[in-house]
């Protein structure tokens, strides 16, 4: 099952507008913007995004909701989400990354027990040469009854980066990803002396998180492509 199917309801209001500009034109310009950053967009991915846009536009029209105008920037955002959200194996149900440039996820996580292990798999996919091993999540500090609107205990994550051990303890927030993990991993990359940085690319309009590894200049260019 495609992971983007699980994202459609989250993206409906913010990311999937009607085609006032023209879907073909917006998609073509969005692909050129990403190509300039050496981020390739396959015809198959472009088709998936256009299909999802059409489906959600229909649902929104039926619900009497007014959609925003499609722009190259909004289409770049859609492409990054779909590119980075990964996929699920039809045989095992296991999540797998599908991009080596961006990792994207919904901050309200589906797999609560393994949310940080999955995050680290996403980091493994987009950071060249990194080896993340021995990942363990300890949920023993969490309350039995999760608090989906606040803190319900603590949870810890242990892992190795290039054979160097790291450990972090985070507030547990029900099914919500604690973004302190992103800040901690940024520090890990600095300690490991990686030349690039982990950048959070977001328009602060929804609960999707897009992460990109590269230089400050590349991250700025990617943010400009979203405008």
Domain locations along the chain:
3-225
Q: Any bridge partners for residue 158, and if so which?
A: 136, 167
Q: For the residues 136-152, what does the mean pLDDT come to?
A: 80
Q: For residue 81, what are the CA distances in angstroms to 77, 100, 108, 155?
A: 6, 13, 15, 27
Confirm if 157 and 139 have CB atoms less than 8 A apart. no
pLDDT at 35: 95
pLDDT at 93: 81
- Rounded to 10°, the helix 72-84/43-62 angle is 110
Highest averaged pLDDT of the listed ranges 5-14, 19-28, 127-136, 145-154? 127-136
Confirm if 139 and 112 have CB atoms less than 8 A apart. no
Instruction: For residue 121, give every residue at least 6 positions away whose Cβ sits within 8 Å of its Cβ, in sequence order, or none.
Output: 95, 97, 132
Confirm if 76 and 34 have CB atoms less than 8 A apart. yes
Dihedral angle over CA of 31, 36, 38, 39, nearest 10: -30
Flag whether pLDDT at 177 surpasses 50.
yes
61-111 residue pLDDT tens = 888 887 667 789 989 999 999 999 999 888 888 899 999 999 999 999 988
In Å, the largest CA–CA distance within the chain is: 55
Pairwise pLDDT comparison (96 vs 8), residue with the higher score:
96
If 0-12 CB within 10 Å is exposed, 13-18 middle and 19+ buried, where does residue 93 land?
Answer: exposed
Pairwise pLDDT comparison (51 vs 205), residue with the higher score:
51
pLDDT band at 220 (very low <50, low <70, confident <90, very high): very high
pLDDT at 69: 75
Flag whether pLDDT at 20 surpasses 60.
no
Q: For residue 129, what are the CA distances in angstroms to 100, 126, 161, 193, 196?
A: 11, 9, 11, 12, 12
Tokens 């892992």 found at: 159
pLDDT at 156: 96
Least confidently predicted of 35-39, 129-133, 139-143, 214-218: 139-143
């Amino acid at each position: 099952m495609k992971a983007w199917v699980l994202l459609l309801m989250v993206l409906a209001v913010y990311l999937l507008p009607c085609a006032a500009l023209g879907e073909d034109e917006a998609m073509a310009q969005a692909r050129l913007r990403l190509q300039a950053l050496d981020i390739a967009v396959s015809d198959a991915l472009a088709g998936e995004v256009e299909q999802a846009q059409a489906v959600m536009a229909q649902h929104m029209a039926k619900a009497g909701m007014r959609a925003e105008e499609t722009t190259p920037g909004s289409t770049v955002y859609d492409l990054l989400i779909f590119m980075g959200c990964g996929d699920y194996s039809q045989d095992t149900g296991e999540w797998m990354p599908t991009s080596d440039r961006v990792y994207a996820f919904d901050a309200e996580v589906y797999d609560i027990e393994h949310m940080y292990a999955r995050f680290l798999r996403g980091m493994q996919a987009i950071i060249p040469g990194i080896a993340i091993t021995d990942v363990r999540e300890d949920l023993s500090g969490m309350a039995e009854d999760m608090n989906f609107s606040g803190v319900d205990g603590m949870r810890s994550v242990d892992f190795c980066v290039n054979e160097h051990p790291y450990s972090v303890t985070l507030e547990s927030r029900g099914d919500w990803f604690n973004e302190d993990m992103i800040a901690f991993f940024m520090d890990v990359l600095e300690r490991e002396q990686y030349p690039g940085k982990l950048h959070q690319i977001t328009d602060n309009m929804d609960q999707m998180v897009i992460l990109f590894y590269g230089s400050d200049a590349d991250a700025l260019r990617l943010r400009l492509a979203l405008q």
